[in-house]
């Protein structure tokens, strides 16, 4: 499975889109980036694709209003995420990023992973 890497320009744009959002963490993921709230990913970067986890109604609205992309490897796109070009106009992407954050912030916090005991 091919893991598409984001360019530095794509990473910079992703960070810019998430800049100033309250209570989030941006973490590296397989050469790409993820935006998390309460341990749950609400936005991700895979190559040049911005993936957003939206509520069902918001996802339907986005898919019906513009062309979207699969998010993740072509062989196994991530379910529940809608993809958009990360280099799209910020004024068009930021409202969707905010909706994804608002939706995922309502989900139960993800428990931190504990390390495996060493024998």
> 34-85: per-residue pLDDT in tens?
999 999 999 999 999 999 999 999 999 999 999 999 998 888 888 899 999 9
* 72 DSSP 8-state letter: S
Question: What average pLDDT is seen over the chain?
Answer: 92
CB atoms within 10 A of CB 88: 14
pLDDT at 116 over 90: no
The rounded distance, in Å, linking the Cα atoms of 111 and 12 is: 29
Q: What is the largest CA-CA distance in the chain?
A: 54
The rounded distance, in Å, linking the Cα atoms of 117 and 119 is: 6
Of the listed ranges 12-21, 83-92, 106-115, the one predicted with least confidence: 106-115
Check residue 73 and give its pLDDT: 85
pLDDT at 1 over 60: no
pLDDT at 89 over 60: yes
Domains and CATH numbers, the chain: 8-104 (3.90.1150.30)
Check residue 115 and give its pLDDT: 66
For residue 21 the two structure tokens come to 């959002």
The rounded distance, in Å, linking the Cα atoms of 33 and 11 is: 7
């Amino acid at each position: 499975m091919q893991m598409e890497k984001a360019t530095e320009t794509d990473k910079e744009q992703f960070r810019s889109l998430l800049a100033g959002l309250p209570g989030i963490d941006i973490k590296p993921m397989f050469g790409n980036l993820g935006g998390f709230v309460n341990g749950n990913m609400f936005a991700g970067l895979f190559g040049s694709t911005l993936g957003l986890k939206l509520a069902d109604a918001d996802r339907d609205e986005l898919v019906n209003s513009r062309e979207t992309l699969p998010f993740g490897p072509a062989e196994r796109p991530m379910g529940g995420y809608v993809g958009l070009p990360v280099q799209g106009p910020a004024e068009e992407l930021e409202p969707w990023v905010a909706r994804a954050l608002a939706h995922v912030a309502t989900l139960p916090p993800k428990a931190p992973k504990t390390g495996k005991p060493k024998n």
